[in-house]
Each structure stands twice: as C-alpha cells, then as structure tokens.
Structure 1
C-alpha cells in the first residue's frame, strides 16, 4: 500500500450525494454524521453489521451491509480510506463511471471548510488530546464541531456538528493524508517512527510532519519534550507562524510542573497559572492537557474555565477505559499499539496500583499489572518487536496474542511469539496465546485480588475485556 494521492479539498456543499466505503469505521462514521446533520444525502457500506451502522441509519443514511457495485449507482462523490482495497467492487464501479473519488481526509477537510480549524497531530496522543480539547471547549460554552478517533465518554460520540466557529479534528498521519488539511491552529504531540510500511524510514515520517506544519495557517503548538515535535518549531517560526511550546521541558512556553499521580487521576500545575486535576491517569495525560491549555489560552479563554473543562473530561473509549471488576480484579482496555503508547499506559497502570486508585465504584488496588497485548499489523510487529517486548516488561504478567493483520497479509516468521520472546521477564510470567478464545480463562487463572488487567491493541482484543470479567466472576 502506498501513501494516498493528495487532492485539493472540495467544499462539503459541492460534494452532492456522498457514499462512504467502510462507513462504520471511526473516522468515516464521524464524517458521515456531520454531513447528515448538514443535510447532505449520505449512503455507505460496511462489511458487517454494527451499532454504528444502526446509528447512522437512524440519522437518515442509506446503509448497506456488504459491498456491491450497485451501491454507488446514484451518487456523486465516493469517500474511501486506505483500508479499502483496489478489488472493492464499489471502488471499481466508481472508477468505471468516473465519479469523484476522494480520501477520507479530503472529506474531513471539506466539512472543516469555513470553520476555525484546530488539528491535533502526532504519533501518539491525538485522540486523547483532541477529545480533551473538545470537552474543555464545550464546558467553556464554545460548542465546537469535532471529529476525533474515539468516542467521548461525556457525549458517547466521536463526531458532531456544533454551532460554534471552532472545528477540532484529529489529523491522521498514518497514510500521509493529514497533508490535505489546512488548519488555522495545530497541535503536534510528538513525532516518532511508525507506519513504516507506508513511509519506508523514520526520516520520511519527520519530513511528512514538516510538510504538515507548512499547511498551518496561524499557530503551531508543539511539545517541547519530544525532539521530533520540537524540531518543527524553528521551521514554523521561519514561515512567520506563531509557535507555542508546552510540556515539562524548562524552556517550554506553557510548562507542566509538579505532576502527582492519584490512582485513576493525576494532578499537576501549569507554571504561572495554577493547578489542574484530571479524572484520567498518567503523566502523559498531564502533558496532553497542557497542550489543550496552550491552545485555549491563545483562543482567549480564561484559565479557570479551561481547568473546569479539563476536570470534566472522563476519557475516550478505548483509552484506559474501565471494562469492569470481579473478584477484586479490575479490567481496563487501551488502544495502545505502538511501543511508546504501551509504555505510557503501563506506567499509568503502575500509578493506579501503587496509588491505591479505585475503579470508580470498585475496589482499591495495590496488586500487580497484567498486560494482555495484541500486536497490530505484521509490518509494525516486525519493525518493533524488541521495543514492544521492552515496553511489556513494565508489567508483572504478560499475555501476547497473535498479530491482528487488519489490512495486511501474514508474513512468514512474524507472529505474537516474536514479541513474547523479547519480554524481559521470567518465562513463567510471559505467555504467547495464539488461540484468542483461550485468553479470558488464562488471564482469570493468573489474576488475584488487587490486580488490574489491561488489554491493549488496535484490533479485536477490545472484545476480551467483558469476557475476562465474566471468567473472573465465575472463579
């Protein structure tokens, strides 16, 4: 798969009847929801039935389960993602009929047209930071439009069309399509090697972010703690952009200080402004929240109101999301699928058990961290097996599933065993479990009161949380 072909964005009003292939996905469904709220005729297809399809059907979308050429017979614009293969019959028919075919990011750019766009980019932290920013703006009375990569716990939605002037968007770098966005303001949380199946080498990733910074219209907000993000600052200043740095680095313009984990919460101060308490765990989330504060202050919002808005943020789905508790063991789920993300979440998990933080309404912790990890993509597993293993060494017990291939075909010699073999723990504390169905019972047998279980990965590992809770209940 190659990087998407960049196209000039078309205003949403000019798209006509829109068909989205893979409409049930997080990004596609959000765009569909916004188009529907603006009165655009929307149809779409997906491979399987889901609650999301039912939601969109209820909003007026013409939904198809399964893909067929006939689904695009009455449309003007077809929206695709890089997950859609060339063999898809709807894509083939759209090409045959010479319909307008645009990538998902171009559709996102279309619905952002005419609003003050704030894009959140970075290898990690995009969904959490964009979700935090959305909730903070809502609590400040701004009513932004938003399209992020996960559902907000506060609204239950991953996208909506607000009445305010601001549009918050998560900018996806995976295929380079974030270069279709032209935001007024952008946050870059970090820049690291990832998606090397597309980019080829880390240098190409950094170059892509540099090109993204060139598309920002007014203000670039970058994390001073991350070398890749910080390297964008002088480039942006040379273009005449206003640059705001944030983070724990002493030279940061908006500085995070005095971070204190409090179990499932974290407290910190912003130098020169005051204290903030978040209802989500992890030092990394204190820094993410500081990015939100940096943007909000540039928008002229009062710090006290922003602080209240951040306190109201209770997380996004699949971002250290509580899935249940049984037998004194609490189960959480995380979308973490890169070594840096695993490291951040496992450190947060360690904060929870060491800080005595309870699952809301559940027991106190004080036990061990059991990590259940499903590698995502064969290429990523091959590139980062050693780094995944090192990150998982932060847990007390580790269960590694086989690779969730997603859009990729299997590679010889690449499996979850490659990661399990790199975990620096005694062999009896690391299990490679290629049979996914065996995992809930396996985890329940190892867990004991006071432990937390954290399922991690971008694939269907998320389905295991409730099953693990059920197994724990049956012990």
Structure 2
C-alpha cells in the first residue's frame, strides 16, 4: 500500500533492501546515495542510461536500465520517482507481494526524521542555496549530511550521510507539494514565483503551500524579503529576512559582479559581518550565499569559518556552469527555466563583459509553457541575440497549439530592437549557432531539459 507519509512509517534504523524505480533523476540519485550511506542494500532501475548512474554503480548500487518485473527481487521497501506512471511492472510486483511502496516524499520524510533538518525551499534558488550551505557547514567542521537535487562540483553528487553529525541539509520540492511532508527544524524560503500550476491550479494555492511550510517549521524560517511575492509571509512567527532592503535581518551590500565570481558584504543589525568572496557570478547567487551565511551565523559558527566555506564553494552542475571555450567562443550552461531565473542568469552573463551574449532558451514542459509563456516577455533584456527552441516535454503529452513559439512571440512583443529567432529542431539549432557565433561571444544555454549537451556538440564539431 502507498498511503500518505503520515500513515506509513518506515524504520530506516535497521539495514534493509530498498529498490528505487526511476533512480536516474538527480533527486532519486541523491536518495539512493543517502540510503546506501545509511547501510541499506540499494538497487534501482531507470528507463534509460544517464551519466549519474555510473556514480551509483561505483558505490556498489545495482542499477538496471529498463523497467521489468524481473528487476523486483523482493526488497523490503520500494520507493519511486514522481515521474513514474501508473502500471509500472516493478510497482505492480510490489503491490502484489504487499511490499511497502513509498513516494519520494515519504522516503524523504523518513530520512529527515533522523536528524535536525534544515530544509531549503523555493520555486528557484533552492539547489544552489542548499549546496552552498552544505559546503559551508562542511568547511566549518559540522560534518553535515545533505540531500540535494543537484550535483556539487566538489564531490560529483548531491548527497552524503554522516552518522557522526546531527545536521541534515535538504532541498525541499514544492512541485508536487512533497516539501510539506518533510520534518523541518530550520527552513529557508528563497522565492515564491508562479509555477507548477498543473498541480496547484492557481497561485493562491501555491502561496498557501509555502505558508503552511513556514508555519510547520519548528524553528527559524529565513525568507528572501525583497520580493513582492514573499511579503505575505513576513508577519509569520520566527521569520528572519535576508535581501538588499535596509530592514533585512541580513542585508547584502556593496555587491560587485565579475565574470566568474562575486564579492559582497553582509550586514546584520547595523554591523558588517564581513566581506565574502564567492566563486559564482550573479547577484542571485550572492543572495543564495547570504541565506546560507545567515543560517550558519545563527547556528553559532565562527565568521572566519563561514567566510572560508563561502570561498571554497565550487558551484553546482548546470548552475551557470562553464562548459569550455573554442575559437574564442565561451560556453556556459544554466538550469534556468522560469522567467526570473532567465533574467538572473542573463544579468550574471552581462557582468562577464563578453562582446555578445547569445542565449538559447529551451522551454520546459507543455503545461508550464502554456501557463507562463507571456511572463517571459521581459526576461531577455540583457541578451544580444535570442534563440528559442522547441519545448522539452519532460514526459508530458503535447498540448495542441502550445509550442516554444509562444515564448518567442512574447519576447518579440517587447524586444523589437534585438534579433529573436525560433528554432524548433536541434539539427537546425546546431547549424544556426555554427553560423552566427564568433570570437568574443558567450553562448549561454538555458533550460531544464536536454539542451545542456549542445555545447559539447558545438565544441566537438
């Protein structure tokens, strides 16, 4: 049976066999790593191969490509990705034998119960913020465990379980409401932006979910306070704000952006805590670091160690990730797929002072494009050349009339001074980029889909 996370309790203290259906995604790979580190015998399957599976295999985790009843070898627990549809043969086998079938939220809830959990949530910024906090706490000798939906460049994965520390940093996922099932002692809310309307139906229900998340947190809640969309949370108990506003509990000041780094001060209660050097560009990343510093300072860590932790953060895969350079053309890839994320990534690119910023944006999901296409109209102000591609479906069925051209038309309605191209197919995109990119350009690929390997194709060709 599946049941809700509050009805189904799983004992993770005793080593057991755990099978993960859909093990290849970043979030489920992190869960697999943590369960393995806890001493469980982990196996899993996924529809197709992805590079991250090699890291799991190196830990002795059995991974099978393809879904089949034969993959089900009578584990004690089966857990599944939210991307797995009904009728999966491995899940059916578990139901037939009475093996507990846990959602991703339920297995994460069981994990977070084991330690003092710091849960980072938000429609964007949560992966980088939780990653910075994890690295910072590690450098400061607290040896945290962490469970993140992105791969830290320092270790090549997004998860670690440490039996000798009681702190766990977790990236909470609001896309399906699962973050509400996590046991949160401290929380960070980086943003509340219109998204996931296929699940929430409207922005009011999305905002209510974040309100519930904040009120269920046992301790302090760190809130990005500059956004109009987060103002409704400011009056809740135990709120600590961070941002640029002078009345923030933790204020970022004197920000200086560079091509691959940033420098900024953090002020609390009128006192300059220190100046911080972050090896990631963009004001949005400096804000993410400010949230992490706020938590660390309130945990009582020394400023010297906090500063060292920030300086040693080496970034997260697919977050303004430098992919290489050829013929004087630089390539950077970023996961940005929401309007504010696109705007932030382009602002960071502009600070790099390339001759031109040529941005290629791949819309993500038909439902999201249908809901948010018009919201991208002002997101590309800092680009010199703009290319919008076809939609990455992420397994969704196509919606008649919904294509990437909706985004291109929205951008064109506000950007008549810049060349905006719509390029539906990958082979045409490769040919177009080979034609227009010149020495001194930055080619910035944005999106949560499969656009990430375009840079490799171009550099190889």
Q: Same fold (TM over 0.5)?
A: yes
Counterpart contact for 1:123–1:173, Cα < 8 Å: yes
Matched, 1:390 2:378: yes
Note the C-alpha offset of 1:28: 0.6
- TM-score, with length taken from structure 1: 0.91
CA distance in 2, matches of 1:201, 1:101: 30
Note the C-alpha offset of 1:14: 5.6
CA distance in 2, matches of 1:446, 1:103: 46
Matched, 1:372 2:360: yes
CA distance in 2, matches of 1:245, 1:140: 23
Matched, 1:247 2:243: yes
Note the C-alpha offset of 1:427: 8.5
Tell me the residue number matched to 2:452: 462
Counterpart contact for 2:360–2:446, Cα < 8 Å: yes
CA distance in 2, matches of 1:265, 1:291: 17
Tell me the residue number matched to 1:360: none
* Unmatched tracts of structure 2, length 5 or more: none
Tell me the residue number matched to 1:406: 394
The alignment covers a number of residue pairs equal to 451
CA distance in 2, matches of 1:145, 1:292: 15
CA distance in 2, matches of 1:19, 1:232: 39
Note the C-alpha offset of 1:426: 4.3
CA distance in 2, matches of 1:174, 1:107: 16
* 2:443 aligns with one of 434, 438, 453: 453
Tell me the residue number matched to 2:117: 117
Note the C-alpha offset of 1:267: 1.2
- TM-score, with length taken from structure 2: 0.94
Tell me the residue number matched to 1:362: none
Structure 2 residue matching 1:57: 3-state secondary structure: helix
The within-5 A match list for 1:419-458 is 419-424=407-412, 425-426=415-416, 429-458=419-448
* 1:263 aligns with one of 234, 259, 267: 259
The within-5 A match list for 1:76-475 is 76-162=76-162, 163-235=164-236, 237=237, 242-271=238-267, 272=271, 273-353=273-353, 365=354, 367-424=355-412, 425-426=415-416, 429-471=419-461
Note the C-alpha offset of 1:5: 5.0
CA distance in 1, matches of 2:112, 2:358: 41
Deviations 1:240-267 (A, max 9, x none): xx32111111211111111111222111
Tell me the residue number matched to 1:10: 10
Distance 1:286 1:118, change over 3 A: same
CA distance in 1, matches of 2:252, 2:117: 25
Note the C-alpha offset of 1:398: 1.1
Distance 1:437 1:12, change over 3 A: farther
Counterpart contact for 2:17–2:77, Cα < 8 Å: yes
Deviations 1:367-412 (A, max 9, x none): 1111111110001111111222421343111111100111310000
Structure 1 residue matching 2:146: 3-state secondary structure: strand
Structure 2 residue matching 1:423: 3-state secondary structure: helix
Counterpart contact for 1:6–1:177, Cα < 8 Å: no
Distance 1:349 1:42, change over 3 A: same
Structure 2 residue matching 1:297: 3-state secondary structure: helix
Q: Which stretch of the first structure deviates more once superposed, 288-297 or 41-50?
A: 41-50
Counterpart contact for 1:15–1:76, Cα < 8 Å: no
CA distance in 2, matches of 1:423, 1:370: 15
Tell me the residue number matched to 2:34: 34
Structure 1 residue matching 2:401: 3-state secondary structure: coil
Deviations 1:118-166 (A, max 9, x none): 1100111000000100111111111111111111112222111133221
CA distance in 2, matches of 1:66, 1:209: 36
CA distance in 2, matches of 1:181, 1:15: 22
Note the C-alpha offset of 1:428: 7.4
Structure 1 residue matching 2:257: 3-state secondary structure: strand
Note the C-alpha offset of 1:444: 2.6
Counterpart contact for 2:23–2:81, Cα < 8 Å: no
Tell me the residue number matched to 1:361: none
CA distance in 1, matches of 2:259, 2:43: 44
CA distance in 2, matches of 1:378, 1:223: 29
* Unmatched tracts of structure 1, length 5 or more: 354-364
Structure 1 residue matching 2:10: 3-state secondary structure: coil
CA distance in 2, matches of 1:369, 1:98: 55
